[in-house]
Amino acid sequence: MISLIGNRPALQIGRYQVIDYDTAWLDDALIRAARAADHEDFPFVVDIRSGVVKYLETKCPLKLLPLADLFDRMRKMLVKIGCEQIAGKLMPLAPPVTVSLVRAALDAGNGFELAFFEMLRMELGDLRAAGAEQIRFTDLRESVLILRGGSKWNKQCDAILEEIQSFLRVWDHEQAQAKHPLPRYSGND
Protein backbone atom coordinates (compact mmCIF):
# COMPACT_ATOMS: atom_id res chain seq x y z
CA MET A 1 0.00 0.00 0.00
CA ILE A 2 1.31 3.46 -0.90
CA SER A 3 1.03 6.13 1.77
CA LEU A 4 1.60 9.77 0.90
CA ILE A 5 2.58 11.93 3.83
CA GLY A 6 1.28 15.03 2.10
CA ASN A 7 -2.09 13.31 1.83
CA ARG A 8 -2.99 13.95 5.48
CA PRO A 9 -6.02 16.15 6.05
CA ALA A 10 -5.58 19.60 7.51
CA LEU A 11 -6.43 19.67 11.21
CA GLN A 12 -8.93 22.25 12.45
CA ILE A 13 -7.80 23.74 15.77
CA GLY A 14 -10.09 26.52 16.85
CA ARG A 15 -10.37 28.76 13.82
CA TYR A 16 -6.91 27.74 12.61
CA GLN A 17 -5.96 24.98 10.24
CA VAL A 18 -2.67 23.13 10.54
CA ILE A 19 -1.58 21.57 7.27
CA ASP A 20 2.01 20.41 7.65
CA TYR A 21 2.43 18.56 10.93
CA ASP A 22 4.48 15.76 12.39
CA THR A 23 2.93 13.23 14.77
CA ALA A 24 5.02 13.51 17.95
CA TRP A 25 2.16 15.32 19.70
CA LEU A 26 0.05 12.17 19.34
CA ASP A 27 2.61 10.29 21.42
CA ASP A 28 2.53 13.05 24.03
CA ALA A 29 -1.27 12.93 24.24
CA LEU A 30 -1.28 9.13 24.61
CA ILE A 31 1.50 9.15 27.22
CA ARG A 32 -0.32 11.81 29.25
CA ALA A 33 -3.55 9.80 29.13
CA ALA A 34 -1.75 6.61 30.18
CA ARG A 35 -0.07 8.38 33.10
CA ALA A 36 -3.38 9.94 34.17
CA ALA A 37 -4.90 6.43 34.15
CA ASP A 38 -1.95 5.08 36.23
CA HIS A 39 -0.53 3.06 33.32
CA GLU A 40 3.05 4.32 33.22
CA ASP A 41 4.16 1.26 31.29
CA PHE A 42 1.60 1.54 28.46
CA PRO A 43 3.36 -0.27 25.58
CA PHE A 44 1.05 0.60 22.68
CA VAL A 45 1.81 4.29 22.12
CA VAL A 46 3.81 3.73 18.93
CA ASP A 47 1.29 1.20 17.60
CA ILE A 48 -1.67 3.51 18.19
CA ARG A 49 0.15 6.48 16.67
CA SER A 50 1.03 4.35 13.64
CA GLY A 51 -2.61 3.37 13.27
CA VAL A 52 -3.72 7.00 13.49
CA VAL A 53 -1.12 8.07 10.93
CA LYS A 54 -2.19 5.29 8.57
CA TYR A 55 -5.79 6.41 8.94
CA LEU A 56 -4.88 10.04 8.27
CA GLU A 57 -2.77 9.21 5.22
CA THR A 58 -4.85 6.48 3.58
CA LYS A 59 -8.36 6.19 4.98
CA CYS A 60 -9.58 9.63 6.10
CA PRO A 61 -12.00 10.92 3.46
CA LEU A 62 -11.89 14.48 4.78
CA LYS A 63 -9.63 17.30 3.65
CA LEU A 64 -10.24 19.13 6.95
CA LEU A 65 -10.51 17.13 10.16
CA PRO A 66 -11.50 18.80 13.44
CA LEU A 67 -9.04 17.91 16.18
CA ALA A 68 -11.88 16.85 18.49
CA ASP A 69 -13.07 14.32 15.89
CA LEU A 70 -9.59 12.84 15.61
CA PHE A 71 -9.41 12.40 19.38
CA ASP A 72 -12.89 10.84 19.45
CA ARG A 73 -11.63 8.29 16.91
CA MET A 74 -8.54 7.66 19.07
CA ARG A 75 -10.73 7.10 22.15
CA LYS A 76 -12.81 4.57 20.23
CA MET A 77 -9.62 2.81 19.15
CA LEU A 78 -8.44 2.63 22.76
CA VAL A 79 -11.77 1.24 23.94
CA LYS A 80 -11.72 -1.33 21.14
CA ILE A 81 -8.36 -2.70 22.36
CA GLY A 82 -9.51 -2.78 25.99
CA CYS A 83 -7.94 0.44 27.26
CA GLU A 84 -11.10 2.20 28.50
CA GLN A 85 -9.31 3.90 31.41
CA ILE A 86 -6.78 5.50 29.08
CA ALA A 87 -9.52 6.44 26.61
CA GLY A 88 -11.33 8.23 29.44
CA LYS A 89 -8.23 10.31 30.21
CA LEU A 90 -7.30 11.17 26.61
CA MET A 91 -7.50 14.94 26.12
CA PRO A 92 -7.11 16.76 22.81
CA LEU A 93 -3.58 17.98 22.19
CA ALA A 94 -2.84 19.90 19.02
CA PRO A 95 0.29 19.95 16.92
CA PRO A 96 2.14 23.27 17.03
CA VAL A 97 -0.02 26.11 15.69
CA THR A 98 1.38 29.15 13.89
CA VAL A 99 -0.51 32.40 14.40
CA SER A 100 0.04 35.57 12.41
CA LEU A 101 -0.70 38.64 14.49
CA VAL A 102 -1.62 40.67 11.40
CA ARG A 103 -5.31 39.78 11.58
CA ALA A 104 -5.63 40.91 15.19
CA ALA A 105 -3.83 44.14 14.32
CA LEU A 106 -6.10 44.76 11.31
CA ASP A 107 -9.21 44.00 13.36
CA ALA A 108 -8.06 46.30 16.15
CA GLY A 109 -7.11 49.12 13.80
CA ASN A 110 -4.66 51.98 13.92
CA GLY A 111 -4.08 53.26 17.43
CA PHE A 112 -6.16 50.65 19.22
CA GLU A 113 -3.49 48.67 21.02
CA LEU A 114 -5.82 47.83 23.91
CA ALA A 115 -8.30 46.21 21.51
CA PHE A 116 -5.40 44.32 19.92
CA PHE A 117 -4.30 42.87 23.26
CA GLU A 118 -7.86 41.91 24.20
CA MET A 119 -8.34 40.16 20.83
CA LEU A 120 -5.02 38.40 21.30
CA ARG A 121 -6.00 37.28 24.82
CA MET A 122 -9.30 35.83 23.52
CA GLU A 123 -7.55 34.15 20.57
CA LEU A 124 -4.99 32.52 22.84
CA GLY A 125 -7.73 31.36 25.20
CA ASP A 126 -9.68 29.81 22.31
CA LEU A 127 -6.59 28.04 21.00
CA ARG A 128 -5.75 26.76 24.46
CA ALA A 129 -9.30 25.45 24.92
CA ALA A 130 -9.00 23.67 21.56
CA GLY A 131 -5.88 21.79 22.72
CA ALA A 132 -3.08 24.03 21.46
CA GLU A 133 -0.11 24.26 23.78
CA GLN A 134 2.66 25.14 21.34
CA ILE A 135 1.79 28.39 19.62
CA ARG A 136 4.22 30.17 17.34
CA PHE A 137 3.70 33.81 16.45
CA THR A 138 4.65 35.45 13.20
CA ASP A 139 4.41 38.89 11.63
CA LEU A 140 5.03 40.81 14.85
CA ARG A 141 6.76 43.70 13.08
CA GLU A 142 4.03 43.93 10.44
CA SER A 143 1.41 43.99 13.19
CA VAL A 144 3.20 46.82 14.95
CA LEU A 145 3.26 48.88 11.76
CA ILE A 146 -0.47 48.29 11.32
CA LEU A 147 -1.18 49.31 14.90
CA ARG A 148 0.98 52.44 14.49
CA GLY A 149 -0.56 53.26 11.11
CA GLY A 150 2.83 53.86 9.55
CA SER A 151 5.19 52.38 7.06
CA LYS A 152 8.47 53.31 8.73
CA TRP A 153 9.86 51.79 11.88
CA ASN A 154 10.54 54.16 14.78
CA LYS A 155 11.06 54.17 18.55
CA GLN A 156 7.31 53.96 19.20
CA CYS A 157 7.28 50.79 17.12
CA ASP A 158 10.09 49.38 19.25
CA ALA A 159 8.03 50.10 22.37
CA ILE A 160 4.91 48.40 21.00
CA LEU A 161 6.92 45.41 19.82
CA GLU A 162 8.34 45.03 23.31
CA GLU A 163 4.82 45.30 24.79
CA ILE A 164 3.58 42.52 22.51
CA GLN A 165 6.55 40.27 23.30
CA SER A 166 6.14 40.96 27.02
CA PHE A 167 2.41 40.21 26.83
CA LEU A 168 3.13 36.87 25.14
CA ARG A 169 5.81 35.97 27.68
CA VAL A 170 3.50 36.79 30.61
CA TRP A 171 0.62 34.84 29.06
CA ASP A 172 2.90 31.87 28.47
CA HIS A 173 4.21 32.02 32.04
CA GLU A 174 0.65 32.16 33.43
CA GLN A 175 -0.33 29.12 31.36
CA ALA A 176 2.76 27.23 32.51
CA GLN A 177 1.85 28.00 36.12
CA ALA A 178 -1.69 26.68 35.57
CA LYS A 179 -0.45 23.50 33.92
CA HIS A 180 3.00 22.02 33.41
CA PRO A 181 3.01 20.85 29.76
CA LEU A 182 5.29 21.70 26.87
CA PRO A 183 6.55 25.25 26.28
CA ARG A 184 4.20 27.19 24.07
CA TYR A 185 5.78 30.48 23.06
CA SER A 186 8.34 30.92 20.37
CA GLY A 187 8.13 34.36 18.83
CA ASN A 188 9.29 35.08 15.32
CA ASP A 189 9.73 38.53 13.84
Q: What is the pLDDT along the chain (189 residues), one digit of tens a residue?
A: 333 446 899 999 988 999 989 899 999 999 999 999 999 889 999 999 999 999 999 999 999 999 999 999 999 999 999 999 999 999 999 999 999 999 999 988 776 888 899 999 999 999 999 999 999 999 999 999 999 887 899 999 999 999 999 999 998 888 777 765 544 445 555
CA 165 to chain centre: 19
* 74 & 47 share domain: yes
Angle separating helix axes 67-80 and 24-36, nearest 10 degrees: 50
The string over 67-99, giving b where at least 16 C-beta atoms fall within 10 Å of a residue's C-beta and e elsewhere, is beebbebbbebbeeeebeebbebbebbbbbbeb
* 55 & 104 share domain: no
Are the CB atoms for 93 and 25 separated by under 8 Å?
yes
How would you classify the pairing of strands 64-66 and 10-13?
Answer: parallel
Cα angle for residues 179, 137, 170 (degrees, 5° grid): 45
* 74 & 34 share domain: yes
Domain carrying residue 138: 97-187
* 83 & 102 share domain: no
Q: Which of 55, 89, 123 is the last residue of a domain?
A: 89
Q: Which of 89, 105, 138 is the last residue of a domain?
A: 89
* 85 & 9 share domain: yes
Measured in degrees and rounded to the nearest 5, phi and psi for residue 154 equal -145, -175
* 44 & 122 share domain: no
Total domains in the chain come to 2
* 102 & 38 share domain: no
* 139 & 166 share domain: yes
- The Cα–Cα gap between 186 and 115 comes to 23
